Amino acid sequence: MGTVNIPLLDLNTYVYGNPDERKRFSDNIGEAFNETGFVTITNHGLSKELIDQLYEQVKALFNLPENIKSKYEIAELAGQRGYTGKGKETAKGFKTPDLKEFWQIGQTVTDNDPVKNEYPDNIIVDELPMFNSTTREIYQKLEAAGKQLLRAIAVYLDLPEHYFDDNVHNGNSILRTLHYFPIENPDSLPPDAVRAGAHEDINLITLLIGASADGLEVLTREGEWFPVKAHGEDVVVNVGDMLQRLTNNKLKSTTHRVVNPPREQMKNSRYSVPFFLHPKSAMDLTCLESCIDADHPKKYEDITAGEYLDERLREIGLKK
């Protein structure tokens, strides 16, 4: 297998660095996003204590009885807030649902921005007050880190550094807490059942806190699956389809999946917490003129972020 460029970058060198360090960070993230669509990040604002507290609360949530969890599942929210039960989400192009259940937390608008009217309220877990406060803190810190990363990406694309700021302020971002539940009898599964089928993310960028177990793999340009490991408190960051569309495929939304572990480990849970950084629904995703030339003709129809999200939620079965 060839080498895969998934560099480990220190976000502080962009936020606090001198002009040369900031330029180098921007070049490094841009080149990795151009080649593989993935980087890992340190100094993203999350302490080990906060991450440990998060996973403790996530485990407590999914350990709640089924009848408690199901009262937080509201079909008309299309999985965008609260609980989504087992067998509900299917990767695009797959027939068998992923082996997971999840909970989603959205934006909390605090500055009278009229966009608040577009978002459903977050659902509060009555039984676990610390889950609510911890996930909100995680959301805010990952959103702040994501805004800095988008500034570095804008510089790489020769855009104004703050190009994305207004579009992602009070954006439609989602924090998803995931439970890949235990399978006591793997022989009972359909042959194509996996924890997360091969897919690309919908949003601009995804920030993933290191999961509780291995399993994440990315598809290389050579068509081989390459395992991605986040060590300790590192955060894995990847390009989503919205950023790929905007940049006319200059930045790659790489196909990735979560594979099943060896049979004897299927009895164990796997937990994971990705943050999907979305812009406001009104953001124009029309391909940037600077990313279109004779060798790279425009590949996508004009569309807004909201229209694209709606299309994709229907494809994966969350919206009818």
User: Quick one: pLDDT at residue 320?
Assistant: 67
Confidence of residue 231 (pLDDT cuts 50, 70, 90): low
Structural domain of 146:
8-315
Q: How confident is the model at residue 2 (pLDDT cuts 50, 70, 90)?
A: low
CB of 208 within 8 A of CB of 230? Answer: yes
Radius of gyration of the chain (CA): 19
Question: Is residue 243 classed as helix, strand or coil in its secondary structure?
Answer: helix
Distance CA 213, CA 196 (A): 14
How far apart, in Å, are the Cα atoms of 272 and each of 56, 74, 75, 177, 181?
Answer: 12, 22, 23, 6, 11
- Reported confidence tier of residue 236, pLDDT bands at 50, 70, 90: very high
**Token duo for residue 220:** 């290389």
- Mean of pLDDT values over 195-213: 87
Q: How many domains does the chain have?
A: 1
211: pLDDT strictly greater than 70: no
Give the C-alpha separation, 233 to 276, whole Å: 18
Number of helices followed by number of strands (H, E) in the chain: 8, 12
290 DSSP 8-state letter: G
What number is the average pLDDT over the span 157-169?
97
- Identify the pLDDT of residue 1: 45
Residue 84, domain member (yes or no): yes
What pLDDT, on a 0 to 100 scale, did the predictor assign at position 212? 64
| pLDDT-above-90 percentage for the chain | 69
153 CB-near residues (< 8 Å, 6+ apart)? 26, 29, 30, 33, 164, 205, 243, 251
Reported as a pLDDT band with limits 50, 70 and 90, residue 259 is: confident
Q: Which residues contact 129 (CB under 8 A, 6 or more apart)?
A: none
CATH number of the domain that residue 70 is part of: 2.60.120.330
Residue 33 domain flag: yes
Q: Which has more pLDDT, 214 or 20?
A: 20
d(CA 222, CA 137): 39
More confident residue, 282 or 184: 282
The residue count for the chain: 320
Q: Mean pLDDT throughout 119-124?
A: 96
Pair 235, 207: CB distance under 8 Å: yes
Q: Using CA atoms, how far apart are residues 131 and 61, in angstroms rounded to an integer?
A: 8
CA distance 228 to 210: 10
In a domain, 135, yes or no: yes
Q: What is residue 150's predicted lDDT score, i.e. its pLDDT?
A: 98
- Does residue 71 form part of some domain? yes
Note the pLDDT tens digit of each residue in 55-96.
Answer: 999 999 999 999 999 999 998 888 899 999 998 888 777 888
In-domain check, residue 1 = no
pLDDT band at 230 (very low <50, low <70, confident <90, very high): low
In this prediction the pTM is: 0.93
- Does any domain span residue 138? yes
What's the mean per-residue pLDDT of the chain?
92
Contact predicate 158/172, CB 8 Å: no
In a domain? residue 170: yes
Mind listing the pLDDT tens digit for each residue in 122-152? 999 999 999 999 999 999 999 999 999 999 9
What pLDDT is stored for residue 157 in this prediction?
Answer: 97
* Residue 186 is assigned to a structural domain of this protein: yes
Sign of the torsion angle spanned by Cα atoms 1, 234, 252, 23: negative
